[in-house]
Amino acid sequence: MFQFMPQWRLGARYDQLSARALGAEFAGTTLDDLGRNPRRVSGLLEYETSEFGRFRLQYNHDRATQETNHEVFLNYVVSIGAHGAHKY
């Protein structure tokens, strides 16, 4: 995560799975990689509305299967309850 302004952050992530070390006993199971290396690249933009809430816009380019999936998520995260910074 890179905070480029007090309330704004950018983030990036790369995921890849390689199951080549699995033996023949996993052939045909959900762990069988079928000669593929599934991978996903993600980018996000986050805006903090206050210390209790933030919006997050995220894009994923997902190659977990033979087809490419393009995913977009918009989240609003709210934190509630007592915590160390305040006495309620």
DSSP three-state, residue 42 = strand
User: Does some domain include residue 64?
Assistant: yes
**What total number of domains does the chain contain?**
1
> In this structure, is residue 40 part of a structural domain?
yes
Tell whether 86 is covered by a domain: no
Q: How far is CA 50 from CA 25, 31, 47, 69, in A?
A: 52, 42, 9, 33
Determine the pLDDT at residue 61.
96
The whole domain housing 73 covers: 2-20+31-78
With 60 as the cut, is the pLDDT of residue 78 above it?
yes
Q: Is 35 contained in some domain?
A: yes
The 3-state DSSP class for residue 31 equals coil
Is 16 within the bounds of a domain? Answer: yes
Per residue in 8-66, pLDDT (tens digit) is: 999 999 998 776 666 677 666 766 666 677 889 999 999 999 988 999 999 999 988 77
Instruction: Please check whether residue 26 lies inside any domain of the structure.
Output: no
Residue 72 is assigned to a structural domain of this protein = yes
88 occurs within a structural domain:
no
Question: Distance between CA atoms of 82 and 8, rounded to whole angstroms?
Answer: 25
Helix (H) or strand (E) holding 45: strand 39-50
pTM above 0.75, yes or no: no
Kind of pairing between the strands at 39-50 and 53-63: antiparallel
